[in-house]
C-alpha cells in the first residue's frame, strides 16, 4: 500500500513539474508566412444560388468584415462574426465577377481585395478544370497504355498569392518494382484554377507509383524540377 502511495505521489509530482516547465517565448512576428491573396472562389450550388468563399488572412484584424460585389455592384455586407462565406441568389447563366473587399471599422481598406470569375454556364457543385491528358503510348514490348489523373496537391508555385494544382498522370500499365516489364512515363502537370497549364515535368519511364515508390529519391528530384520550372518562369 505504501509503495502504491509513493508511486502515485511520484506521478503527481511529475505532472506538476511538466506543467510548470517554462515554454519558449516565440516571436510570432518573425514567422515566415506564405504571401497569399484573398483566395476568392465562387461555385454554383444549384440553378438559383452561387456560394462564394474567401480567405481570412493572418494580417487581418480580428474584427474585419467584408463587402461582396458581383459585377461591380455590392450585394452583401458580411460581418466578421459570420465568417468568410456568402450564398448569393443568382440564376443568370452569364459569367459573373465576384469581388471581396475587407472592411475595418466600417471603411473599405482597398488592400488585399480578391476577385473570382464564375464562368458562363458554370456546372453545379464543382469547378471545371480542363486537363491536358498525355498521349497514349506503346512500350518496347508492344503493350499499349493510356493515362489517367492520379494524386494531386496544391502550392503557390509562381508567387502570385494564389494556389495552383500539381497533378500526377499515371500510365495504365503502372505497377510497383516487384514486377518486371515496362511502364509508361509518369508526368506532373501544374494548372491554375482557370485550367491554364503552366508546365509539365516528364519523370521518365518506370517511375511507377511516382513519389510513393522511392520517396527518398523521388521527392527531392521532383521538387528540384519544380524549382527549376519556377526559376525559368521568372
- Does 2 reside within a domain? no
Q: What HEC string does the chain produce?
A: CHHHHHHHHHHHHHHHHHHHCCCCCCCHHHCCCCCCCCCCEEEEEECCEEEEECCCCCCCCCCCEEEEEECCEEEEEECCCCCCEEEEECCCCCCEEEEEEEEECCEECCCCCEEEEECCCCCECCCCCCCCCCCCEECCCCCEECEEEEEEEEECCCCCCCCEEEEEEEECCCCCCCCCCCCCCCEEEEECCCCCEEEEEECCCCCCCHHHCCHHHHHHHHHHHHHHHHHHHC
pLDDT band at 39 (very low <50, low <70, confident <90, very high): very high
Residue 62 within any structural domain of the chain:
yes
pLDDT, tens only, 151-169: 899 999 998 999 999 999 9
Question: Which one of 118, 147, 179 terminates a domain?
Answer: 118
Residues 92 and 174 in one domain: no
Domain that holds residue 185: 137-233
Mean pLDDT of 190-205: 92
Q: Is residue 127 part of a domain?
A: no
What is the C-alpha separation between 224 and 234, in angstroms, rounded?
16
234 against 73, higher pLDDT: 73
Q: Is the pLDDT of residue 233 over 80?
A: no
Measured in degrees and rounded to the nearest 5, phi and psi for residue 25 equal -90, 100
**Which of 23-37, 41-55, 72-86, 172-186 shows the lowest mean pLDDT across its residues?**
23-37
Residues 159 and 196 in one domain: yes
Q: Is the same domain home to 209 and 150?
A: yes
Calculate mean pLDDT across residues 57-73: 94
In a domain, 4, yes or no: no
Number of domains the chain contains: 2
Question: Where is the domain boundary, 55, 85, 118?
Answer: 118
pTM (predicted TM-score): 0.73
143 and 212 in a single domain? The answer is yes
Asked, for residue 167, whether it belongs to a domain, the answer is yes
Amino acid at each position: 500500500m505504501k509503495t502504491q502511495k509513493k508511486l502515485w505521489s511520484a506521478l503527481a509530482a511529475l505532472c506538476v513539474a511538466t506543467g510548470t516547465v517554462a515554454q519558449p517565448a516565440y516571436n510570432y512576428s518573425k514567422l515566415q508566412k506564405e504571401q497569399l491573396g484573398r483566395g476568392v472562389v465562387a461555385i454554383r450550388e444549384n440553378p438559383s444560388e452561387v456560394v462564394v468563399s474567401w480567405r481570412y488572412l493572418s494580417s487581418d484584424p480580428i474584427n474585419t468584415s467584408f463587402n461582396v460585389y458581383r459585377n461591380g455592384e455590392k450585394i452583401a455586407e458580411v460581418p466578421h462574426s459570420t465568417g468568410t462565406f456568402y450564398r448569393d441568389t443568382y440564376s443568370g447563366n452569364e459569367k459573373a465577377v465576384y469581388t471581396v473587399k475587407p472592411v475595418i471599422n466600417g471603411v473599405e481598406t482597398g488592400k488585399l481585395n480578391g476577385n473570382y470569375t464564375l464562368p458562363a454556364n458554370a456546372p453545379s457543385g464543382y469547378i471545371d478544370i480542363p486537363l491536358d491528358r498525355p498521349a497514349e503510348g506503346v512500350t518496347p514490348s508492344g503493350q499499349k497504355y493510356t493515362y489517367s489523373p492520379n494524386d494531386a496537391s496544391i502550392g503557390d508555385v509562381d508567387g502570385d498569392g494564389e494556389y495552383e494544382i500539381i497533378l500526377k498522370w499515371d500510365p495504365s500499365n503502372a505497377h510497383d518494382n516487384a514486377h518486371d516489364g515496362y511502364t509508361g512515363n509518369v508526368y506532373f502537370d501544374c494548372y491554375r484554377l482557370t485550367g491554364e497549364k503552366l508546365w509539365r515535368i516528364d519523370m521518365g519511364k518506370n517511375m511507377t507509383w511516382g513519389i510513393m515508390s522511392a520517396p527518398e529519391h523521388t521527392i527531392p528530384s521532383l521538387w528540384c524540377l519544380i524549382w527549376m520550372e519556377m526559376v525559368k518562369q521568372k
